[in-house]
Amino acid sequence: MSDYTPPLEDMQFLLDHVIGLDKLPDHPDLGKIDSEMVDSILQPAAKLARDVIAPLNQPADQKGAKLEKDGVRTAKGFKEAYVQYRDGGWNAVPFSAEHGGQNLPWLVALPLQEMWQSACMSFGLCPLLNQSVVEGIEAHGSEDQKNEYLEKLISGEWTGTMNLTEPQSGSDLSEIRTKAEPQDDGSYKITGQKIFISYGDHDLADNIIHLVLARTPDAPEGVKGISLFIVPKFLEDGTRNDVKPTGIEHKMGLHASPTCTMQYGDKDGATGYLVGAENEGLKYMFTTMNNARIAVGLQGIAVAERAYQQALTYAKERVQGTTLTNKKEKVAIIEHPDVKRMLFSMKSQIEALRALTYEAALNLDLAAQGDKEAQARVDLLTPIVKAGATDMAIDVTSTGIQVHGGMGFIEETGAAQHFRDSRILSIYEGTNGIQALDLAFRKTIRDQGSTVRAYLSEIGGLLNDLDQIADPRVLDIRHALDSALDHLTAATNWMIDQSTKDIDAPAASAKPYLEAFALVAGGAMMAKSVLAAKQQLDYGQGDEAFLEDKITTAQFYATHILPKAESHARTVQKGADPVLKANF
């Protein structure tokens, strides 16, 4: 299995020239965050990801996590790697300095997180979930709760989990039945079972802080009766709380990430502490879920990058067949046009969605400063990043197996692991069907397309900029983006129009609408990358080979990937009827 090398050149190109570090607000302590400063952060992170975490990926997948009498034991090497991750201060990067965080922007944090997820997604899941718990307590916890939990969660000394799903509920959280009985001291006794709890138990940290959805005795039925509770593994006096893992799921992938069934109240009930007000738990949990959805999209990019790097290495090393023009010498399979096509398909989609995700990160940072337009952009991009990048990951990791041929189907090579690991991403943190409904109804129909049309108008402005470049490759990009934009605009108009006639029609077309949108949004980011690359070339700056490759990769995306937006947009307008008439 090939090594992982963090794609620092592409990351820095995006940060410096496409997204723009210069757009970030000044850091309260560091001042202006520039390229040199970011490079000093990315380089040691890359070393940790490449040399310490990445080598664990395949062995950990083979061995998995184990449930023993006293709890879950993570795969060999995880504890040592986590110590290095924690002691390096990496867990504290994006969090508030008030409780020990480094207060660095998301635009810097996301490239770091991409490295952890590429290196070993089973390992990277733990800090990803911890991030959501920090955000939840920071936004909705009391001052006492913040003082009690945040410093150790931010440092990584403790970790956190999100406990939502139950056997009967799945994505429908209105069916939650876990109970919370109030106690005289202001605490609650939590009883019930949660399933699919990633890192519900492990041996990496001294304590685990669970955020748990449950119902108080007088709570109304449905989603309006859900409250949020903090349930620590160990209580303040050091005693073990009445919460434990009763099993580890046997999953398709992510074998080294312990996905636990958690039992609350095996004896007297687990001690829990109400976060905020009763019956507001679902609203509070969505605070954590929106950023988590961008993080899951980032996971899709990360695992796709790992699969691409492995496929590229294999294609350069595997000698098989001859070229059509030289029948005498056998060549590495990377010389065959169809293998080149597959590799370019992988590479171009990764780069498009990485750029889009980093664009969302910038808007997260601007929104935190009170920029309402940036918040609207984050809201729009969140379902597109989550669903677009995770669907892409499934396609790219599958293509990675195809590049390996029969060897890709053999676990020994490790190519299949990336596909297996990627498959959950379109399911958790809200299935991609749910993301599609979010885009259709909350982000498009609710304001009659105002936010979407503003975004599409910005993409239209890129066409004028592309017109200024006399390069046939750029002409291909311009024509493809123009055509795809027209089809997406027509699909948007159809969704809004149909919502006033038959509300089920846009629901039936929501997924192809999101797919078309993601392709066009990715195309727009490729266009921005081309404009940045051309500017550098014109000024004689940067690595010429890298910049030329950027343009060619964008041309491939425009001619092979972006045209698919038209078919999705046509499906939006013509495909709802048979769906609604289906009788199974």
Instruction: Point out the domain boundary residue: 140, 155, 170.
Output: 155
Q: Which residues pair with 188 in a beta bridge?
A: 182, 272
- Are residue 198 and residue 130 in the same domain, yes or no? no
> Comparing C-alpha atoms, which of 428, 430, 429, 411 is closest to residue 419?
411
Residues 506 and 579 in one domain: yes
H or E element that contains 134: helix 121-140
Could you give the angle at which helices 544-556 and 337-368 cross, rounded to 10 degrees?
A: 100
Same domain, 116 and 187: no
Q: What are phi and psi of 67, to 5 degrees?
A: -95, 115
Q: Are 572 and 495 in contact (CB under 8 A)?
A: yes
**Both 105 and 163 in a single domain?**
no
- 360 part of a folded domain: no
Q: Which of 271, 261, 257 is nearest to 188 (CA)?
A: 271
Task: For residue 248, give both structure tokens.
Answer: 């580890």
For 9, the token pair is 């050149």
Q: Which distant-in-sequence residues (6+ apart) come within 8 Å of 12 by Cβ?
A: 35, 38, 39, 42
Q: Assign residue 250 the CATH number of its domain.
A: 2.40.110.20
Same domain, 162 and 237: yes
Handedness of CA 259, 303, 16, 443 (dihedral sign): negative
- Rounded Cα distance, 227 and 76, in Å: 37
496 and 540 inside one domain: yes
Nearest to 506 by CA among 441, 430, 571: 441
Exposed, middle or buried by CB within 10 Å (0-12, 13-18, 19+), for 290?
A: buried
In a domain, 448, yes or no: yes
In terms of domains, do 27 and 162 share one? no
- For residues 79 and 221, state if they share a domain: no
Is the same domain home to 162 and 151? no
Residue 22: enclosing H or E segment and its boundaries? none
Cα 526 to Cα 348: distance, rounded to the nearest angstrom: 9
| Segment 464-468 long-range contacts (CB within 8 Å, at least 24 positions apart) | 465/527, 465/531, 466/527, 466/530, 466/531
Instruction: Give per-residue burial for 199-214: e unless 16+ CB within 10 Å, then b.
Output: bbbbbbbebbbbbbbb
CB 489 within 8 A of CB 544: no
Question: What is the reported pTM?
Answer: 0.96
Tokens of 475: 């002409």
pLDDT reported for residue 170: 64
As for how many domains the chain has, the answer is 3
Q: Contact, 414 vs 58, CB < 8 A?
A: yes
Nearest to 516 by CA among 481, 551, 550: 481
Residues 6+ apart with CB under 8 A from 37: 30
Which CATH number covers residue 133?
1.10.540.10
Q: Which residues does 77 contact at the CB level (< 8 Å), separation at least 6? A: 55, 56, 59, 60
Joined together, the tokens standing for residue 25 give 């607000």
* Residue 14 within any structural domain of the chain: yes
Structure tokens belonging to residue 492: 């948007």
Using the 3D structure, point to which of 155, 185, 205 is the last residue of a domain. 155
Q: Has residue 292 been placed in a domain? A: no
22 and 128 together in one domain: yes
Q: Which amino acid is at 43?
A: Q
Looking from the CA of 204 toward its CB, the CA atoms found within 13 Å total 35
Q: 444 is written with which tokens? A: 């498009």
- Cα separation, 254 vs 285, in Å, equals 24
- Known catalytic residues are 429
What is the distance between the alpha carbons of residues 421 and 408, in angstroms, rounded to a whole number? 15
Q: What stretch of H or E contains 247?
A: strand 243-248
Helix axes 472-499, 544-556, angle to 10 degrees: 40
- What sign does the CA torsion over 261, 264, 270, 272 have? positive
Is residue 302 included in any domain, yes or no? no
Is the CB of residue 308 less than 8 Å from the CB of residue 343? yes
The residue segments making up the domain with residue 474 are 437-584
107 located within any domain: yes
Q: Domain for residue 307, yes or no?
A: no
Among the candidates 219, 253, 280, a domain finishes at: 280
Do 167 and 199 sit in the same domain of this protein? yes
Digits of tens for pLDDT over the chain (584 positions)? 458 999 999 999 999 999 999 999 999 888 999 999 999 999 999 999 999 999 999 999 999 999 999 999 999 999 999 999 999 999 999 999 999 999 999 999 999 999 999 999 999 999 999 999 999 999 999 999 999 999 999 999 999 999 988 987 766 677 789 999 999 999 999 999 999 999 999 999 999 999 999 999 999 988 899 999 999 999 999 999 999 999 999 999 999 999 999 999 988 899 999 999 999 998 898 877 778 899 999 999 999 999 999 999 999 999 999 999 888 899 999 999 999 999 999 999 999 999 999 999 999 999 999 999 999 999 999 999 999 999 999 999 999 999 999 999 999 999 999 999 999 999 998 899 999 999 999 999 999 999 999 999 999 999 999 999 999 999 999 999 999 999 999 999 999 999 999 999 999 999 999 999 999 999 999 999 999 999 999 999 999 999 999 999 999 999 999 999 999 999 999 999 999 999 88
Residue 115 burial by CB count (10 A; 0-12/13-18/19+): exposed, middle or buried? buried
Is residue 3 assigned to a domain? no
Rounded to the nearest 10 degrees, what angle do helices 564-574 and 472-499 cross at? 10
Same domain, 554 and 466: yes
Report residue 186: phi and psi, to 5°. Answer: 95, -10
